[in-house]
A and B are shown apart, each in its own frame.
Chain A
Amino acid sequence: MIDHILSLLIAFPLLGAVAVAVWPSQRPENFRLIALSALILEFLTAISLYFIFDKQNGGYQLGEVSDWITLPIGSLGIISIDYALAVDGISLPLVLLAVVVLFVGVISSWNMGQKTRAYFSLYLLLTGSVIGCFLAQDLFLFYLFFEFMLLPMYFLIGLWGGPRREYAALKFFIYTFLGSLLILIVMIGLYLSVIDPLETAKVVGILGSEDMIHPDLIPQIQQWLIDGKIAPEQLVHTFRFAYLADLGNYIPGSLLSASAGYFIADIPIRLLAFWFLFIGFAVKLPVFPVHTWLPDAHVEAPTPISVVLAGILLKIGGYGFIRIVDGFFPAEALYSTIPLAILGMISIVYGGFNALGQHDLKKMIAYSSVSHMGFVLLGIAAFTAEGINGAIYQMVSHGVLSAMLFLLAGVIYDRTHDRRIEHYRGLIQVMPQYTIITGIAFFASLGLPGFSGFVGELFTLMGAFQSNLLPVWIPAFSTIGIILAAAYFLWTYQRMFFGSFWYKNGPTHILTDLTVREKGMLFPLVLLTILLGILPGLLFDISGPTVQAWVDGLK
């Protein structure tokens, strides 16, 4: 079991999705119970993964590899696609976050009234794809999961969303799809350029069986590759992350080979590929100026989908930056670090100002997400251990906090179907518990020490300050973001919750305090943000060794 724990993590939700889809009964309670049990299994597996994981080890762990597709295509060599999974200190925190948020999401979907079969089936499909994205070690597999995420998300917004759901769903789809198109283009280029040295060695005939592998083998094959000793039809092309990250595996003279140095319109083709990948993931993160799908998608999405969208989907963008964009094109990333950091800085400040101007509670939170995810980009662009660790931390922290914020927005929306901030006043009089939890979420999000948000912002900023690649003014200017965060959160808090009670439309008796189910979702998240805020070591211990190895590898 332990050997296949990662496969189990992907299998549980996917099996659940199938089970929901074919379950004979029509009673909606069954579907949500199946979904819940799949997520409970997922949760328990993730907990055991946390304990099995060796925190001292900075490399990949618990890897699973098996050949999936092998296809000789003549002079173009041999296609080899593997089913490869592994986890390391960068992906584990995000897997754990994903499981927690998706679990909360299921509870939040409890009263989803219509078309429950389709809803929970799609939800579980989404769950499996998200987890798969974080675990995949083969670019093809990753891309598959990445695209698989889009489809359920499109329908979940488009069918269960608010009044302008079609528009929002389509906008979401176009943006992310164009983004993944750019990723696909680079993927093809990578595929044409990179070989799997071990498989190639087998084909060439110098490697008989797996136990004959010795450390000199790969350099030997790479030397042969440079010398042109291997016929094109004997080259085994690969998508494996590990091989894509090693420049020695690039076929000399191929499209993305560093030594060939092709140009398109005076731009090195590798730099172009880097920016294509960057934009592809920037849409997800989101980064200014490709963030505009986010507010619309959030406003129209039903509460649990907003929670999942902000809580995890955005993190795949950040994960992709670290693992894929920077992982495969480190030299180009180092070369482009200042524009990246500036984009991060603009996202922080621009998102903050836009959040300040919103009237819709969900839009305010959505723009605050843009601002907070800007810190992630800033931290990654710093290329220091502090910055990358901070970025991972910020992703987890924002995952917890944005999930909380959208749940809280959902609480008020469920009662009144009205999210306009000015339509409420003095909610503390009728919903005291709701007010306190919202206060905690707001203060945690604006970066108050003692909560997780502070640690994430502190270390991304610290990493950016310590980076020799970035001028000091970029992180210094970014601190405006923490001023703005205080302004928009506290202003919203003051307008909605304090003063004498007043609600613009309809009866006021529907404004009741939190139910048991809502508290059950919110309290664990409150505890999590406090726990992470006081003991940041819980997370840094996992990510630290891996990130250190990653940063050392760049040098």
Chain B
Amino acid sequence: MPDSTYILPAYVLLGLPFFAFLILWLAGKNLNKLAGWAGALITATGLFVSIKYADPGMLHVVHFNWLTIGSTSIDLPFRFDTLSFVMLIVVHFVALLVQIYSTAYMHGDKNLHRYFAFIQLFLFSMIGIVLSGSLLVMYIFWELVGLSSYLLIGFWYFKPRAVWAAQKAFVLNRIGDAAFLTGILMLFYYIGSTDFEVLALEVNHLDTGILTAIGLCLFGGCMGKSAQFPLSGWLPDAMEGPTPVSALIHAATMVAAGIFLLARIAFLLTIDAQLVILIIGTITMLIGAFKAMTAWDIKRVLAYSTMSQLGLMVIAVGFGSWQTALFHLVTHAFFKAGLFLSAGSVIHAVMPSHADESFDPQDMRTMGGLRKALPITFLCFSICAAALAGLPFFSGFLSKDAIITEGFLWASNFGLFGYLFPVLVIFSAGLTAYYMNRQIWLVFFGDQRFNASPNVHPHESPIAMWLPMGVLSALSIFFWFSFNPFNASGWFLHFIGVNEAAHLSWVPIIASATTFLAIFLAYRQMKAPDPFGVNGSKTAPETEKLSWLRDYSQEHYFIIPFSFITNYLMRIEKRIVDRFVDLVAKSSVVFAHVISWVDRTFVDGGVHLTVFSIRSAGQAVRSAQNGKIQSYFIVTAMGVFLLILWLVVM
């Protein structure tokens, strides 16, 4: 198909959600009933268009002219290729399911039209990122994704924690975005374009050091959006938003944008940049995994787990294999969205029928034994959890296996120290298996602790909720990605361009062994007298306070340094700058006085004009204390006069 045929889909894919956003937002509450299904219909159309225009293996670019200034002409290119095709399918598909789910989950909310409008705005921006053909276009949509995330996290604007979390997410993202923008502008300076095609051709002419700097700046954007250390603090807090939003944005799509960015720019990452990326990814993966093991909030466990998995994808890019990162991105999008939707179903089920302040429907310590009341949810949750934990026959096993294999291949080139990374990945996979077991046990097995509130009556969710969950868990099975459950290099990796995927036959064995060991350890905990410390006091465990990533209550990770600088600078402003300038102003009046004195004493006051000037200057200084404007006028006018005199005489 020629490039020009792609103008229409570019308009449709971006235009539909944008106009849906405008209409739903402006239409007001009248559309509350219809909004969800209208949104789902539009997303389904988008999905259909993406599939219809799919042309895998080929590249189509559509250019829109934006502006020309100076020597810089700025086009807005949009790009259709295999990578954008995969992302389009994932984004549309998950969004479709989430919107169907939301019609039931958010039922009765009085601002439903706004909720679905914001979801459409998010889709508009996310599709923009996916289709962008240059980094500048990507940055534009990148920021808009930040906006929609802000609006959706803070959707329940009357909850202070939600609004705070929304703002925290936006500001932490902005830190990464500033670096991202710097990288983009450096590319404009050194190459003159951020078009991916141009970059691919020109990038070899650049000095390696500069290229490393650019790569790391661009990685800054990924650190914000994909919640990499140290900008990761916003992701757990973002769980204050509605649960379907967490599934769509903070598990499947938006947080994956950073990985998508890395996949797009993988060709310009130098060895040094890759190493830094690898280290950051590893730190994030481990922190996320450890935090997930101690959290009690059902959604926070999943959020930390998302962080950890994003770290894993970043590691894959660090190993130089963006394809496996994308592979994990896709499998993760399905099973993590499935987990969030199932968690939403659990929260929905244990929500007290009457408001009960003392009961937190998201706290796993007041759940337990829910598998009987929620059989479908239990099944879906378990399948997705198995995929996340990397059990054989599930999708997560394949993608993790692919990354670990790449890791060992990378390490064999790098040297002994390099083996640390794949080993840590396997270790973290073990942690994942452990905390998922813990979560399943806490939620679905053991005693029914939800009796803490008399108003809780668990019940299975309606079909609009369990159907999307079921679809997502079905997609977490291995055969959608590779027909051999023990060989990751199935059709999917071939599809995204890996022709000769490496396969080390011992990797699946080691990985599975670690997973099963972790499950065994978790099983021993379950049989312990106080499993996972669930019966302990409800105060936060000590480790949480000491951790690097502060929670809502300890909101001082970035705020302390910032507020320190702010207070300091305000003091400078008051005590020094303001006073200094005042001093200059006052001293010039004094100076005029001195000059006039000199004039009077030395120049001899014979000339009438001079006498006049002295007198007025003297009066001016005296009346300056009263703040009379005229006196300033006269003083300065006299000063000017003397200056003219001096210039003329010279």
Chain A residues within CB distance 8 Å of chain B: 76, 154, 166-167, 170, 173-175, 177-178, 181, 184-185, 188-189, 192, 255, 288-290, 292, 350, 353-354, 356-357, 384-386, 389, 426, 428-429, 443, 447-450, 454, 458-459, 461-462, 465-466, 472, 475-476, 479-480, 482-483, 486-487, 490-491, 493-494, 497-500, 536-537, 540, 544, 547-548, 551
Asked whether, in the complex, the Cβ of A498 is within 8 Å of the Cβ of B154, the reply is yes
A362 to chain B, nearest CB (A): 16
Which has the most chain B C-beta neighbours within 10 Å: A175, A357, A429? A357
B640 to chain A, nearest CB (A): 6
Asked whether, in the complex, the Cβ of A449 is within 8 Å of the Cβ of B140, the reply is yes
B85 CB within 8 Å of chain A: no
Asked whether, in the complex, the Cβ of A181 is within 8 Å of the Cβ of B70, the reply is no
Report whether over half of chain A's contact residues are helix, strand or loop; otherwise say mixed.
helix
B417 CB within 8 Å of chain A: no
Asked whether, in the complex, the Cβ of B629 is within 8 Å of the Cβ of A154, the reply is yes
A88 to chain B, nearest CB (A): 16
Asked whether, in the complex, the Cβ of B167 is within 8 Å of the Cβ of A494, the reply is yes
Taking CB atoms, residues of chain A closer than 8 Å to B584 are 178
Taking CB atoms, residues of chain B closer than 8 Å to A551 are 70
B8 CB within 8 Å of chain A: no
A-B contact pairs, 7 of them (CB 8 A): A175-B585, A292-B577, A357-B566, A386-B69, A389-B70, A449-B141, A499-B159
In the assembled complex, the Cα of A475 lies from the Cα of B183 at a distance in Å of 11
Known: A255-B647, A461-B181. A289 touches B580 (CB 8 A): yes
B554 CB within 8 Å of chain A: no
A103 to chain B, nearest CB (A): 27
B133 to chain A, nearest CB (A): 16
B residues 135-181 with Cβ under 8 Å of A? 139-141, 143-144, 147, 150, 154, 157-160, 163-164, 166-167, 170-171, 174-175, 177-179, 181
B217-234 Cβ-contact flags toward A at 8 Å (1 or 0): 000000000000000000
Asked whether, in the complex, the Cβ of B188 is within 8 Å of the Cβ of A499, the reply is no
Asked whether, in the complex, the Cβ of A499 is within 8 Å of the Cβ of B158, the reply is yes
Report whether over half of chain B's contact residues are helix, strand or loop; otherwise say mixed.
helix
B603 CB within 8 Å of chain A: no
Asked whether, in the complex, the Cβ of A384 is within 8 Å of the Cβ of B569, the reply is no
Asked whether, in the complex, the Cβ of A385 is within 8 Å of the Cβ of B69, the reply is yes
Asked whether, in the complex, the Cβ of A499 is within 8 Å of the Cβ of B171, the reply is no
Asked whether, in the complex, the Cβ of A289 is within 8 Å of the Cβ of B178, the reply is no
Residue from A386, A443, A472 within 8 A of B186 (CB atoms): A472
Taking CB atoms, residues of chain B closer than 8 Å to A170 are 627, 629
Interchain residue pairs A-B with the least CB separation, the first 5: A385-B70, A449-B140, A479-B178, A498-B163, A486-B174
Known: A177-B632, A354-B570, A357-B570. A483 touches B178 (CB 8 A): yes
A524 to chain B, nearest CB (A): 18
Asked whether, in the complex, the Cβ of B69 is within 8 Å of the Cβ of A356, the reply is no
> In the complex, which residue of chain B has the Cβ closest to the Cβ of A76?
B648
New A-B contacts (11) at CB < 8 Å, excluding given A175-B585, A429-B158, A462-B185: A353-B566, A354-B573, A426-B158, A447-B143, A449-B140, A462-B188, A472-B186, A475-B185, A482-B177, A483-B175, A491-B167
Which has the most chain B C-beta neighbours within 10 Å: A177, A461, A498? A498
B609 CB within 8 Å of chain A: no
In the assembled complex, the Cα of A386 lies from the Cα of B588 at a distance in Å of 39
Residue from A480, A491, A497, A544 within 8 A of B68 (CB atoms): A544
B581 CB within 8 Å of chain A: yes
A149 to chain B, nearest CB (A): 15
Asked whether, in the complex, the Cβ of A384 is within 8 Å of the Cβ of B70, the reply is yes
A90 to chain B, nearest CB (A): 13
Asked whether, in the complex, the Cβ of B581 is within 8 Å of the Cβ of A289, the reply is yes
Residue from B70, B157, B640 within 8 A of A428 (CB atoms): B157
B602 CB within 8 Å of chain A: no
B residues 538-590 with Cβ under 8 Å of A? 562-563, 565-567, 569-570, 573, 577-578, 580-581, 584-585, 588
Residue from B72, B160, B573, B629 within 8 A of A499 (CB atoms): B160
B643 CB within 8 Å of chain A: yes
Known: A289-B577, A448-B147. A480 touches B569 (CB 8 A): no
